[in-house]
């Protein structure tokens, strides 16, 4: 196909007309000509300069202040500051608000400036990297930011790729190069790319490269890392381009001396930066509650302001007029109503300290501290991978203590994603099982002898297999067995690499493929090398080279892959492996008997939780293959519907296959998964598994970790082919669960349905499980059925969704999050988990075998699923407990502090006169009480670490939001109001009749203010001491140090020198010394303190004695006797599983197309629904004693699993 350029038109291959090209803003295509900046410049493509920073030296201040005042709290306090600047309504100096506001703005600005400084530094480091650019026929060093679209760049080994490049030529044979894509997808295994043969011939000849004027017509900028569609037009010919011809920005060139590439996308239009989307902002439930409470408080301030304004108007009209002789109204204030209006705003200013700025600052400090505690926890450090836990956000820590639903991936999260070849079925015979001398099957353990592969010098020493019969079959020349392993050695996309001389290492795209090729290697069929046209296998010690004719690669629709090879005798063969449901449909009719036997074997393998693949082959006629290959070449160059055309041709040739057998690979559970799931279930956390694996695979993993058990009341499997069938099955399941309750609740109105469902969830005692596949889930997530799905699933103990897409995972999470108003957590380790991780309230990423995408998108990360127990039951519960206690105390002390002004208003003629000195008002929340409450929020522990993990039921108060809610807010506010009453009226009633030593009265305003302020500081200090359960040296230092700081600072504003310098701002001259040196004043302070503290102490005593909570019982147990170390309290329970299939396959597209086009790595039966045997719950039988201990004081903790019965007898004796 040839083309001739005319103007700015374009010509697509296999299209018959010209189409004008648009600008890059709305372009449907991109046109780039090599070595022609003038031509490319008219399209105004983005240059290679990147900017991730937000500010510069001139825009920082206005933009940062604008951003900060987008926060409602800052705007609110700015309005208060403006009101304070109006003399007619302000009785507080402006610095009482501007000092804390400026502090908050400054701290935030400094933090933002530092963050942006590091962004500038990172941008500068990237933009100034050096590249060799071909300019005017010479290679010149240029900064990355000076690279333009169309430039030709030379890269050398271990260099980062500067932009998205079309690979032109390399130092390797056949135009190959090797790259590492860790920055794109987190995967460190090498990947291969290949240049077009026509450009590969350019080599490193600068003259030829400078003369290269090819034009690329391709897709516009997008974020698809796995896809590229374009055409290179050069020398009157066109060449198809795909993703395998591209080097993307962020990759690193490896094991390749040099390569040349042409810039297609630069800067912000590269695929890497197109993927840099903003993370969704997540808020905690406490943040949302705080918004409501702030509105309540603002409404309270308005009401108090109105009351006091009315009081001022009444007082001025009835009493104040008699004082106008010496207290004249100002010129602009000539009515009582206007005076009340001004007084309203004055009291809004005075009473605003109920919600001070320091509240929000302290919350952020506490969350920051909690996030560091998570990152520093040695108990969540995995030494095997050298990976610590990490809190990637500082805003969600207390939310970890409120999780109700956990959505978990399976592979790599619950399982290790490290595959081992365990068993296989070949020609109807099972290999991999071990029998004793009597023919009885024995269980394989670590002590079971392994097959000796020492006869094979190329064997992998780490490979373990226990059945010698398979080795004997290979050596005896069993044709089916040898063909089986020959298929495994040929049908894959593994890349061999010799890192150390004599040591062969396989670079596999998935653990499944690596395990299969390694198995073939140990059984005498060693894949050792490949070129673009050949595959070399050492068969039983003899090297055999096969001509590689085609690779029919895997994708999620095909669920299989095939290779077509020509043997040394000229025979053409197709080898295929894939999922059983796919391959069984494509078998020859002569395989019916063998397929039935193999299917039974697959069921047996699946019953043991193994992942299976079916293997088949086909002999091809030469003429048929040549005709088919021509069709494939044409289809592979089509731009429109290319994938569909190629898939149709694959379908044509993969028919009438001959069955060889099946493989069985074990994907082991991660360490501690069963114990973690059990602990979370005891904490009333519901766990849903969302996986892309087949239903049977997911079921067997669920059985192995005891999420499913044979003694469950019912396991509902939803497999309806239509929406109606799915609805009927879900309705039948719900009616089965709620049947007895439904008949009793038929009288309820439709409006009470939601309440009824909630009651059902609490009253259903039997254990049910719901399993639903992806195609059924698609129907169930529709608007008509989603409520039925949610109601049914929430009534079940276990929910498993299998064969689900990443989008469906996110939809399930969103469904629960939206309609249950519950805190959700999603945990996964792969790219397919990113959607649900971002959708959930909390996202947890596990660094595993599937890359780092999940980690990069998550809020918290660690290496093993078992650490989730510690994250939630320890750190999450502690964080929630601390934050709630912090908020309750903060509101208490600020209501007590602020509402004294309200009571004082009735005795000062509603004149908006403050009780306290303005310096005390300024420093109360910033200095006097800030550090003690921070220590409380950071370090307090209601129970110890061991007891937090030993008693999962302690987690429930967070789920039920019992520690801080609207009721708790009203109670702590009421406590603060009562304290404010005592703080005002006790000194008022006592000091008014208490004379000084010289006989004068002691009830002047300044002395009164000092007495109330001193009483307040002492009361709140004692109160926080009573609230503290866990004392550290920091708590002592902050509480008693802040109290001492008050008395130290007290004499500075009230000193002679301060009054002489600024008499307007330091008017309380000598008051502190005059007042606090009298014994009667200290008696008043003591009386006030006792009256404020004793009622609360008495209430707590009565409540703990008569109605103790579980936390108080555990704390009493903790204090009353020395705790034994935390022991393993659960033992693994083995199950005798029935047969369930678990067919699985790699879910990633492989290197097939790369290899076939010239890549060369350098040198099924489900259990019918029905009621299962109804027996006592496994959890009840095993952990009844543990649950009883949580509610019993003085009962000993279990010592160990081995002494389970002995401990039970001891518990019985002690309880008696």
Q: Which residues are catalytic?
A: 409
842: buried, middle or exposed (CB in 10 Å: 19+, 13-18, 0-12)? buried
786: buried, middle or exposed (CB in 10 Å: 19+, 13-18, 0-12)? middle
> Which residue intervals of 709-864 are DSSP H helices?
723-744, 753-763, 774-780, 786-794, 806-819, 834-839, 853-856
Best CA proximity match to 1016, nearest among 910, 882, 925, 905: 925
What is the DSSP secondary structure assignment for residue 869, as one 8-state letter?
H
For residues 810 and 839, the answer to whether their CB atoms sit within 8 Å is yes
What does each C-alpha distance from 342 to 83, 316, 345, 1068 come to in angstroms?
11, 13, 6, 26
Distance CA 219, CA 215 (A): 13
Distance CA 755, CA 238 (A): 67
Provide the 3-class DSSP secondary structure of residue 940.
coil
Distance from CA of residue 246 to its chain's centroid?
31
For residues 274 and 156, the answer to whether their CB atoms sit within 8 Å is no
For residues 456 and 524, the answer to whether their CB atoms sit within 8 Å is yes
| Neighbouring C-alpha atoms within 13 Å toward the C-beta of 320 | 21
For residues 622 and 576, the answer to whether their CB atoms sit within 8 Å is no
> Which residue intervals of 218-330 are DSSP H helices?
271-274, 285-318
What does each C-alpha distance from 693 to 323, 779, 867, 1090 come to in angstroms?
86, 19, 24, 66
Express the helix, strand and coil content of the chain in percent, nearest 5 each. Answer: 50, 15, 35
Distance CA 331, CA 779 (A): 75
| Beta strand pairing call for 246-247 and 164-170 | antiparallel
Task: Copy the structure tokens of residue 32.
Answer: 């780039």
1171: left (phi over 0), alpha (psi -120 to 50) or beta: beta
**Count of other CB atoms within 10 angstroms of residue 1022:** 18
Distance CA 16, CA 661 (A): 50
Best CA proximity match to 1194, nearest among 1086, 1121, 1141, 1139: 1121
- The continuous run of DSSP H or E covering 518 comes out as helix 511-522
Beta-bridge partner residues of 427: none
Distance CA 191, CA 375 (A): 33
Beta-bridge partner residues of 434: 442
| Neighbouring C-alpha atoms within 13 Å toward the C-beta of 567 | 12
What are all long-range contacts of 628-632, with beta carbons under 8 Å and residues at least 24 apart?
Answer: 628/652, 628/653, 629/549, 629/550, 632/550
Rg over CA atoms, the chain? 37
| Beta strand pairing call for 842-846 and 860-862 | parallel
Distance CA 303, CA 297 (A): 10
DSSP code per residue over 435-447: E-TTS-EE---TT
Phi then psi for residue 632, to 5 deg, are: -65, -40
Q: Cβ neighbours of residue 996 under 8 Å, at least 6 residues apart?
A: 1002, 1078
């Amino acid at each position: 196909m040839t083309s001739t350029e005319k103007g700015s038109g374009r010509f697509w291959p296999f299209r018959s007309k010209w189409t004008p090209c648009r600008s890059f803003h709305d372009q449907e295509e991109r046109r780039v000509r090599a070595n022609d900046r003038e031509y490319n410049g008219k399209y105004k493509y983005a240059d290679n300069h990147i900017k991730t920073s937000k500010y510069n030296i001139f825009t920082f201040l206005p933009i940062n202040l604008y951003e900060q005042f987008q926060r409602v709290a800052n705007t609110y306090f700015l309005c208060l500051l403006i009101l304070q600047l109006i003399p007619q309504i302000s009785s507080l100096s402006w610095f009482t608000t501007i000092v804390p506001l400026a502090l908050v703005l400054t701290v935030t600005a400094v933090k933002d400036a530092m963050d942006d400084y590091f962004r500038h530094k990172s941008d500068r480091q990237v933009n100034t990297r050096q590249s060799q650019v071909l300019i005017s026929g010479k290679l010149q060093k240029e900064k990355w930011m000076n690279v333009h679209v169309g430039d030709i760049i030379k890269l050398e080994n271990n260099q980062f790729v500067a932009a998205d490049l079309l690979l032109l030529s390399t130092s390797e044979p056949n135009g190959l190069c090797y790259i590492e894509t860790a920055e794109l997808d987190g995967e460190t295994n090498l990947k291969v790319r290949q240049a077009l043969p026509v450009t590969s011939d350019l080599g490193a000849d600068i003259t030829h490269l400078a003369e290269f004027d090819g034009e690329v017509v391709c897709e516009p900028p997008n974020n698809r890392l796995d896809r590229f569609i374009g055409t290179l037009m050069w020398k009157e010919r066109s060449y198809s381009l795909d993703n395998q011809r591209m080097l993307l920005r962020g990759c690193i060139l490896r094991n390749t001396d040099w390569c040349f590439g042409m810039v297609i996308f630069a800067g912000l239009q590269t695929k890497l930066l197109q993927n840099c989307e903003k993370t969704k902002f997540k808020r905690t439930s406490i943040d949302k509650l705080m918004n409501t409470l702030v509105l309540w408080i603002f409404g309270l301030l308005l009401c108090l302001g109105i009351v006091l304004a009315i009081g001022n108007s009444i007082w001025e009209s009835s009493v104040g007029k008699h004082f106008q002789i010496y207290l004249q109204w100002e010129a602009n204030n000539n009515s009582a109503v206007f005076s009340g209006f001004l007084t309203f705003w004055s009291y809004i200013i005075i009473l605003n300290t109920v919600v001070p700025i320091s509240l929000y600052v302290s919350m952020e400090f506490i969350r920051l501290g909690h996030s560091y505690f998570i990152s520093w926890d040695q108990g969540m450090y995995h030494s095997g991978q050298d990976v610590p836990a990490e809190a990637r956000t500082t805003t969600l820590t207390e939310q970890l203590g409120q999780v109700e639903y956990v959505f978990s991936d399976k592979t790599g999260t619950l399982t290790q994603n490290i595959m081992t070849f365990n068993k296989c079925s070949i020609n109807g015979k099972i290999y991999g099982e071990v029998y004793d001398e009597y023919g009885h099957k024995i269980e394989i353990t670590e002590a079971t002898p392994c097959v000796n592969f020492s006869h094979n010098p190329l064997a992998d020493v780490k490979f373990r297999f226990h059945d010698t019969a398979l080795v004997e079959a290979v050596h005896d020349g069993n044709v089916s067995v040898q063909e089986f392993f020959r298929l495994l050695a040929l049908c894959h996309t593994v890349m061999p690499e010799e890192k150390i001389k004599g040591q062969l290492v396989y670079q596999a795209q998935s653990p499944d493929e690596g395990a299969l090729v390694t198995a073939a290697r140990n059984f005498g069929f060693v894949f050792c090398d490949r070129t673009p046209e050949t595959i070399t296998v050492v068969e039983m010690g003899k090297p055999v080279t096969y001509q590689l004719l085609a690779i029919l690669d895997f994708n999620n629709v095909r669920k299989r892959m095939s290779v077509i090879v020509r043997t040394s005798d000229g025979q053409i063969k197709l080898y295929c492996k894939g999922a059983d449901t796919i391959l069984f449909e494509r078998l020859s009719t002569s395989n019916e008997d063998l397929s039935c036997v193999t299917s039974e074997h697959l069921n047996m393998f699946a019953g043991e939780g193994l992942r299976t693949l079916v293997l088949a082959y086909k002999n091809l006629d030469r003429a048929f293959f040549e005709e088919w290959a021509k069709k494939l070449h044409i289809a592979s160059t089509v731009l429109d519907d290319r994938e569909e055309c190629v898939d149709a041709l694959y379908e044509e040739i993969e028919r009438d296959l001959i069955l060889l057998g099946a493989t069985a690979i074990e994907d082991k559970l991660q360490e501690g998964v069963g114990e973690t799931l059990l602990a979370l279930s005891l904490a009333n956390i519901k766990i849903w598994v969302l996986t892309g694996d087949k239903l049977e695979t997911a079921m067997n993993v669920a059985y192995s970790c005891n999420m499913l058990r044979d003694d469950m009341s019912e396991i509902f499997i939803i497999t309806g082919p239509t929406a109606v069938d799915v609805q009927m099955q879900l309705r039948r399941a719900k009616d089965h669960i709620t049947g007895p309750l439904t008949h009793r609740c038929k009288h309820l109105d439709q409006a009470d349905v939601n309440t009824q469902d909630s009651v059902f969830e609490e009253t259903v005692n039997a254990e049910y499980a719901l399993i639903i596949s992806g195609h059924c889930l698609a129907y169930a997530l529709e608007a008509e059925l989603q409520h039925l799905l949610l109601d049914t699933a929430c009534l079940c103990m276990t929910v498993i969704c299998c064969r689900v897409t990443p989008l469906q995972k996110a939809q399930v999470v969103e469904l629960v999050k939206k309609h249950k108003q519950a805190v959700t957590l999603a945990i996964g380790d792969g790219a397919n988990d990113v959607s649900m991780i971002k959708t959930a309230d909390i996202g947890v990423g596990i660094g595993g075998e599937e890359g780092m995408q999940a980690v990069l998108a998550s809020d918290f990360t660690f290496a093993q699923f078992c650490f989730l127990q510690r994250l939630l039951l320890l750190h999450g519960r502690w964080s929630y407990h601390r934050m709630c206690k912090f908020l309750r105390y903060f509101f208490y002390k600020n209501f007590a502090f602020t509402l004294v002004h309200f009571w004082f208003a009735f005795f000062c003629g509603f004149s908006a006169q403050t009780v306290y000195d303005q310096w005390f008002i300024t420093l109360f929340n910033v200095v006097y009480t800030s550090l003690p409450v921070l220590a409380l929020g950071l370090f307090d522990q209601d129970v110890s670490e061991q007891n937090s993990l030993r008693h999962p039921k302690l987690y429930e108060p967070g789920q039920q939001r019992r520690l801080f809610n609207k009721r708790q807010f009203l109670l702590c506010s009421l406590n603060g109001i009562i304290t404010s009453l005592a703080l005002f009226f006790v000194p008022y009633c006592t000091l008014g009749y208490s004379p000084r030593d010289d006989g004068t009265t002691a009830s002047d305003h300044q002395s009164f203010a000092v007495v109330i302020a001193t009483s307040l500081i002492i009361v709140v200090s004692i109160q926080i001491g009573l609230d503290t359960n866990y004392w550290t040296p920091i708590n002592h230092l902050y509480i008693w140090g802040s109290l001492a700081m008050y008395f130290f600072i007290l004499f500075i504003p009230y000193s002679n020198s301060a009054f002489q310098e600024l008499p307007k701002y330091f008017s309380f001259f000598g008051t502190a010394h005059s007042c606090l040196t009298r014994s009667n004043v200290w008696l008043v302070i003591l009386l006030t303190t006792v009256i404020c503290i004793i009622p609360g102490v008495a209430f707590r005593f009565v409540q703990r004695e008569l109605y103790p909570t579980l936390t108080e019982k555990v704390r009493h147990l903790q204090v009353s006797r020395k705790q034994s170390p935390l022991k393993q309290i659960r033992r693994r329970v083995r199950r005798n599983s029935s047969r369930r299939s678990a067919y699985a396959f790699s879910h990633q597209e492989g290197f097939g197309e790369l290899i076939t086009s010239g890549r060369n790595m350098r040198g099924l039966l489900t259990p019918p629904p029905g009621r299962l045997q109804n027996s006592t719950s496994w959890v009840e039988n095993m952990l009844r004693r543990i649950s009883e201990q949580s509610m019993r004081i003085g009962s000993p903790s279990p010592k160990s699993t081995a002494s389970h019965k002995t401990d039970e007898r001891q518990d019985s004796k002690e309880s008696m």
